[in-house]
Amino acid sequence: MNQEILYVGCYTPEGNAGIKVVEFNNQSGQVTDINSVSDLPDTSFLAISKDKNYLLAVSEHESEGELGCFDIKTPTSPVFINKQSTLGGSPCHISLNAHKAFVSNYGTGNVSAFSLTEHQLTPAYTQVQHQGQGGNLARQASAHAHASQLSVDGNFLVVADLGIDALKVYCIDDTQLTLVCTASLSAASGPRHLTFNEKGDRLYLGNELNSEVVVFEFDAQGQLTQRQSISSLPVTDDAESETESYIAEVALTKDGGYLYVSNRGHDSIAVFTVDQITGQLTAISFTKTGGLFPRHFALSPDQRWLLVAHQNSDYLHVFKRDVSTGLLTQTTHQLTVKHAVCLCFLEG
C-alpha cells in the first residue's frame, strides 16, 4: 500500500486539536490532513503500542500531566479510552514495551511507570524522583527528566535528565525501577533525547544545551561508557554561528547506517554516518529544514522519506531521503499543522 498513517501531536494554545491524523503517500510524498482528535490538549509526545492497536499521548500540563490512551484499530479514527495522572508536571516523552509505558515528567523531574492492559490504561504503579541541578541554572535549577529508552533486551530503562546533566539507568521489574548506573555529562550539556542501535550495545544521545551528540557503549549489566562527542552544528565563521541552537530529536535508520539530529535555531537536520564497527559518527550534511524550530521529525517506514514538524512556523515539511547516501532533499510537499511537536508513523 502506498498510503501510510501519521499521527501528529500538537500544542493547543489556540484551541486547535491536540492530535492530527495525516495520510502520507510513500510514492509521491504528498501529505493530507484527514482527521483531528481533541480529547487531550497539548499532546507533546505520542507512542504506539507494540500490537499497533493503541496510541498513547501525554498532555503536558505544568501542574499534573496526563497520559491518555486511544483505540486505533481503525487507524484514521482514534477513539479515546481513558487517561491517568503521570504523577508529575509537564510530561514530555513516552517509552513502551509490550506491557508497560514509561513517562518522563520534565517539570517535576520524575519518571512514572504504567501497566498496559488490553482495554485500558491503569494508574501508575511506581515512580522514581531525580534530584540535583546542572551547570546552567537558568535552565537547570532542578531535575528535568526529558526522555527514556528501553534497552534492546528489555531489562533496563535509560533516562536522560536535562536538569542534572546525567543519564540514569534503571533495572525494570514488575513493581519498581531500581537504579544501577548514573553517567554524568559535561556541565550545562542538557541531555534530551536518545536512541539505541539495533544490537543494543551503542546509545546515541542528543544534548540540547551544548548541541553535541554523545556516543556510549552499553553493556549487559546496564553500564554506560562514553566513546565520542561530536557537534550537531557545522563549523562556520559567519554570523550563523552566533545563532542560539538547541538539539531536539535524534533517530537512527533501521539499518543503523545513519543518524539524524534536528537543530532548533539553526533550523537544520544534521546527518551522520555510523561506523558499523566502532559506532562512531562522522558528519556529512547539515540540511536546512525550511521552517522554524524543527522540534521533531520521523523517518517513513520504508526509510525513503523524512518528515519534519516545525513548532514555530506551523508546517510539516517532506524531505526525500537517498537510502544509499543518507542525504536529504526538500520536496514541495508540506502541510499546515499548528504547533506540531511530535510525529509518529503507524507501521504496518
pLDDT digits (tens, 9 = 90+) for 200-235: 999 999 999 999 999 999 999 999 999 999 999 998
Give the closest residue to 294 by CA, choosing from 252, 337, 335, 342.
342
CA trace torsion 105, 106, 111, 113 (10° rounding): 30
- Is the confidence at residue 236, as pLDDT, over 80? no
Q: How far is CA 321 from CA 26, 106, 269, 305, 331, in A?
A: 12, 32, 12, 5, 10
* Grid coordinates given for 247: 538539539
Q: Which residues contact 37 (CB under 8 A, 6 or more apart)?
A: 17, 18, 19, 20, 21, 70, 78, 80
Strand partners for 85: 66
CATH of the domain at 203: 2.130.10.10
What is the overall mean pLDDT for the chain?
96
Give the closest residue to 20 by CA, choosing from 255, 301, 336, 348.
336
Strand partners for 252: 259
Is the Cα dihedral 119, 122, 126, 129 positive or negative? positive
Range of the domain at 238: 3-346
Q: How many domains does the chain have?
A: 1
- pLDDT score recorded for residue 120: 82
* Grid coordinates given for 207: 544534548
Round to whole Å and give the CA distance between 307 and 320: 9
pLDDT digits (tens, 9 = 90+) for 164-184: 999 999 999 989 999 999 999
**Global pTM?**
0.97
Structure confidence at residue 243 as a pLDDT band (50, 70, 90): confident
pLDDT digits (tens, 9 = 90+) for 13-38: 999 999 999 999 999 999 999 999 99
Strand partners for 212: 207, 231
pLDDT digits (tens, 9 = 90+) for 282-323: 999 999 999 999 999 999 999 999 999 999 999 999 999 999
* Grid coordinates given for 163: 536538569
